[in-house]
Chain A
């Protein structure tokens, strides 16, 4: 059965949410996902996030979700947020096909970079990334990724000017 990749719409939100949770389980952070299906549907329609859904016949087998980021050095680029193929459908080239679609979009839009994150124990994925010529930004440039959560935002915002 041939692989078919379609652009995600709000109608895919429930299916995508299932796969987001499956991926989080794989990443050993099952409580990570906290957004609702409705919110995802809304964000898909407002283009805060874009997606691809892969089917084998009528069976959904994988997905990728990405957003448009902006580098003050090189302009707009795609940040690939999630890429997932269901376990029963692996080793068929579907992951690579999803990657190819994202890379094709990047190339067509004249983008100079494509970025994503991976957990440091995911050696299969890391090996694949290195094979495609991708660079670990910490190893090659010393970049660290920091995050401020809700509590920190509240504290910092409390004293902002013009409040």
Chain B
């Protein structure tokens, strides 16, 4: 079945938000998504998130959501936060088409990179990424990603009230 890809708008927020839950299930992290539909809509409205949806006969069958990051080495870049195609619509080129729309945005703005994360067991995705010429940044340079969660943020701040701005 043929599909079309259009920019994501606030009208799509509810469906995209529920699909992030489907993606989280796939990632075996079903308790990950915590955002409400209205928070999601606001994120799109305020352009904190931007992206595209894939439609088949006006039904959303896939999406990609991104934001802009900043590298002190290469400037503004796109961080691809989520990409998902519903199981029934896979193997039809929709995933690659969504990727291409993101690449087009990066190209038109003359951005130097697109970044994203993937789970190390997701070999299908990893093979696709390598086939388009992407690099595992830990493999190449030894970069590790760290995260401080909210309780630890609070604890860290609690013990360190030194000179502030």
Interface of B is mostly: mixed
**B143–A145 touching, CB < 8 Å:** yes
A56 → B minimal CB distance (Å): 11
**A33–B81 touching, CB < 8 Å:** no
- Interface assignment of B56: CB less than 8 Å from any CB of chain A: no
**A52–B155 touching, CB < 8 Å:** no
**B154–A107 touching, CB < 8 Å:** yes
Complex: chain A residue closest to B118, CB-CB: A144
From known contacts A111-B153, A145-B136, A152-B132, infer whether A73 and B74 are also in contact, taking CB-CB under 8 Å: no
* In the complex, number of A-B residue pairs with CB atoms less than 8 Å apart: 269
From known contacts A121-B142, A144-B119, A145-B137, infer whether A153 and B114 are also in contact, taking CB-CB under 8 Å: yes
User: Which B residues touch A10, using CB under 8 A?
Assistant: none
Interface size of B in residues (CB-CB distance below 8 Å): 81
B108, B143, B165: the one contacting A120 at CB < 8 Å is: B143
Complex: chain A residue closest to B151, CB-CB: A133
| A115 and B29 alpha carbons, distance in the complex (Å) | 19
B43, B74, B97, B118: the one contacting A143 at CB < 8 Å is: B118
**B133–A148 touching, CB < 8 Å:** yes
User: Which B residues touch A52, using CB under 8 A?
Assistant: 165
B72, B126, B134: the one contacting A82 at CB < 8 Å is: B72
Interface size of A in residues (CB-CB distance below 8 Å): 86
**A137–B145 touching, CB < 8 Å:** yes
**A34–B74 touching, CB < 8 Å:** yes
B40, B76, B100, B141: the one contacting A119 at CB < 8 Å is: B141
User: Which A residues touch B9, using CB under 8 A?
Assistant: none
Per-position 1/0 for B74-94, Cβ under 8 A of A? 111001011000000000000
| A70 and B164 alpha carbons, distance in the complex (Å) | 26
Q: Which B residues, 92 to 107, have Cβ-Cβ distances below 8 Å to chain A? A: 97, 99-101, 103-104, 106-107
**B106–A153 touching, CB < 8 Å:** yes
A155 → B minimal CB distance (Å): 7
**A73–B32 touching, CB < 8 Å:** yes
- Interface assignment of B11: CB less than 8 Å from any CB of chain A: no
From known contacts A4-B163, A138-B144, A156-B103, infer whether A73 and B154 are also in contact, taking CB-CB under 8 Å: no
- Interface assignment of B26: CB less than 8 Å from any CB of chain A: no
* Sample of 17 more A-B contacts, CB < 8 Å, known A3-B162, A72-B40, A81-B69: A48-B76, A67-B70, A70-B67, A72-B49, A97-B163, A99-B156, A106-B148, A117-B144, A119-B141, A119-B142, A136-B144, A137-B147, A143-B145, A147-B137, A153-B106, A160-B103, A160-B104
B103 → A minimal CB distance (Å): 4
**A161–B69 touching, CB < 8 Å:** no
24 contacts between A and B (CB under 8 A): A5-B163, A35-B71, A73-B24, A73-B33, A79-B69, A97-B162, A103-B157, A104-B157, A111-B153, A113-B150, A115-B148, A116-B146, A117-B144, A118-B143, A120-B143, A133-B148, A137-B147, A145-B145, A146-B116, A146-B117, A148-B113, A153-B114, A157-B103, A160-B100
| A71 and B1 alpha carbons, distance in the complex (Å) | 32
